Structure formats: C-alpha cells, structure tokens
Structure 1
Amino acid sequence: MNPPLTWLIIGIGFCLMEALIPSAFLESALGVSAFGVALLSLFVPGVNYQIVLWMLLSALIFWALKRFVPNRTAPALRRATEARTTTAIQPGKIGRVIYEGNSWQARCEDRQVSIEPDQEVFVLERKGNTLIVMPLSVFQ
C-alpha cells in the first residue's frame, strides 16, 4: 500500500473516532495531521520521517485547537453564602451542613473552633466536595 493512501486511511479513522467519541479535539488533531502528512508523503520519502512529521504536526494542531476547548474548573459557589449545620463540626474535623438544599461535608476555617448542630454558618469557599465555613455569630 502506498504511503499517501495509508495516511489518508489513518486520518479518516481518527476523524471518525472523534465524531463517535469526542476527545477535546485530540483525535481530530491526529486525523488532520495525518491528512497533511498524506500530502507531504509525496515529497518526504522515508516512513520514519513521515511519522516524526505526523507527531510534530499533531502537537502543533492540538496546541492550536486547544483554545476552543472550555476550561474544566470546578463551578464557583453560587450567591447563597449561608448554610445550616446538621452535625457538630469538631475542631479540625469534618461535619455536615445543608447548603442550597443539599447535604455537604464542611470544615471550620478556624481549626480551633467547634460548631454545634443546627447553627447558621457562613460559607467561605469550596475545596473539592467540602465547604469551608465559619459560624455566623463570628460576623455579627
């Protein structure tokens, strides 16, 4: 099989894979670069050189397409900043709070302070699945 046809088949395969299993443009970058190497294989005789060229083009195209992929950061906390404890939060330990109708793990920002159950707390931030809180009485 001649190299241009091989690279065309590889390119079609990667583009079909991207259509079936989206991968944030990785497979399409590999496919488009394979199409480019199919054209350049008429001028670049060695298969080893073609593979290196394919890898370089893939990296370049993936880097160029990367700006179209949205960042996958954790969503910020909504405007609601108050929650209510359902369990006691001992100093330095994890407890539970009700925040926006859901039960969350929570830890007190001040590791010396304990918070009793059924207390209003202020949500300072979110770290993973744990809310960092302070008793509302501290702010009043």
Structure 2
Amino acid sequence: MNINMLLDDLLISLVGTSNYPLPITEYHSLMGLMATVALSLAFSPSLLWLLFGAGLCLVEFVLPTAYTAVIMGVAAMIVAAVTPLMPSPILQVILWLLLSVVLLLLFRRLAPKRKTPAIRDAVEAQTISEILPGQTGRVLYEGNSWRARCSDETRAIALNEKVYVIGREGTTLIVLPDKL
C-alpha cells in the first residue's frame, strides 16, 4: 500500500463522515495538498541542510550582510555533508552554529581591512564662515564644505581666511589659521 492510497482512504473517511460533501475539484486539491505535506516530510536531513544553506547564500543577493549569510550558508552545506554521520538534529544545529561562528571569525581575520581616508598633514583650506573661539564654522576643503573648529580654542578665524587642516574628528576638521 503506497502513500497515495493511504491518503485517499483517509480523505474518503473524513469526507464520508462529513455532513458537507466535497465537489470532486476540491477533493483533488485537498489530495494534492496532503501529498505535498507527505512528500515534504520525506526529505532527508542532508537535503534540508543543503536547501537551507543555498537559501542563506541567496539572501546575500537581496540583503547585503557583509557575507555573513553566505558564511552561514556554507556552514549549513558542511553540516549537510556530515549529516549521515550525525543523525541527531540537535547536534546538527549545534555543529552549524559552531561552524558559523568559527568561519565568521576566520573570514573577518583574513578579509582585507578597509582603510579610512586620512587627512594629509597641513593641507590648505579656506573658511567660508567665521569660526568663533571654541565653536565650529565652515571651511572649503577639497571642493567640499566641511564643519571645522580651530585647534586653539581661544582664537577666532575670520571669513575667507586661509587655514591648514591638521586633523579630523568624525566629520569635523581641526584647523589652524595661516597667520598665527
């Protein structure tokens, strides 16, 4: 006796005891749904891990996760390979979590570090607003307007004065006036 015959018998017994008979089209739709559920239960754990890993890898195309989803997908595919040796689902999940963490740490260590653009030493800029003592103003630096403050908190810098950029704190440039 195969699964389709079992499902047919189950559905006929359910429909036969019902006060509302099902039309034949709904009967076949319900049979298709039950067959799909029965087949989904017949997937092997290795195939489920492979599908899960492929799904995680595909997530990277939709949501950029800095390769985290891809690494977790690769870990799931490794678990799929060792699933026949490890039949316990709990051990498989623990192995997947451990592999994900180890591969993430390894990838982060081996990935090239991004260099933050640094301000060159003593580059010229020009104020486009007055910089009052201890406050910020605006300077024109490399064609863009930047927020700036004077490194000498007691000194004011006038409008259209030449300054030297000596550092940066976040998006604020630290400047010194041309004429000390």
TM bracket (short chain): 0.7 to 0.9
Matched, 1:60 2:102: yes
- Displacement of 1:136 in angstroms is 1.3
Q: How does 1:101-116 map to 2 (within 5 A)?
A: 101-116=143-158
Residue 125 of structure 2 is matched in structure 1 by 83
Q: What secondary structure is seen at the aligned counterpart in 1 of 2:149?
A: strand
Q: 1:33 aligns with which of 57, 70, 75?
A: 75
Matched, 1:5 2:47: yes
Q: 1:118 aligns with which of 160, 167, 174?
A: 160
Larger gyration radius, structure 1 or structure 2: 2
**CA distance in 2: counterparts of 1:62 and 1:56, whole angstroms:** 10
Q: 2:88 aligns with which of 43, 46, 52?
A: 46
TM-score normalised by L of structure 1: 0.88
**CA distance in 2: counterparts of 1:98 and 1:18, whole angstroms:** 39
Structure with a larger share of its residues in helix: 2
**Matched-pair contact (CA < 8 Å) for 1:123–1:133:** yes
**CA distance in 2: counterparts of 1:106 and 1:24, whole angstroms:** 33
- The change in CA–CA distance for 1:54 and 1:71 in structure 2 (over 3 A counts) is same
- Displacement of 1:80 in angstroms is 7.1
Q: What secondary structure is seen at the aligned counterpart in 2 of 1:6?
A: helix
Give the unaligned 5+ runs of structure 1.
Answer: none
Give the unaligned 5+ runs of structure 2.
Answer: 1-42
Q: What secondary structure is seen at the aligned counterpart in 1 of 2:73?
A: helix
| Identity of matched residues, % | 43
Aligned structure 1 segments of 4 or more residues deviating by more than 6 angstroms:
none
- The change in CA–CA distance for 1:134 and 1:79 in structure 2 (over 3 A counts) is closer
**Matched-pair contact (CA < 8 Å) for 2:119–2:166:** no
- Displacement of 1:68 in angstroms is 5.0
- State the aligned residue count: 138
**Matched-pair contact (CA < 8 Å) for 2:121–2:165:** no
- Displacement of 1:22 in angstroms is 3.8
TM-score normalised by L of structure 2: 0.70
Alpha-carbon RMSD across the aligned residues, in angstroms, is 1.8
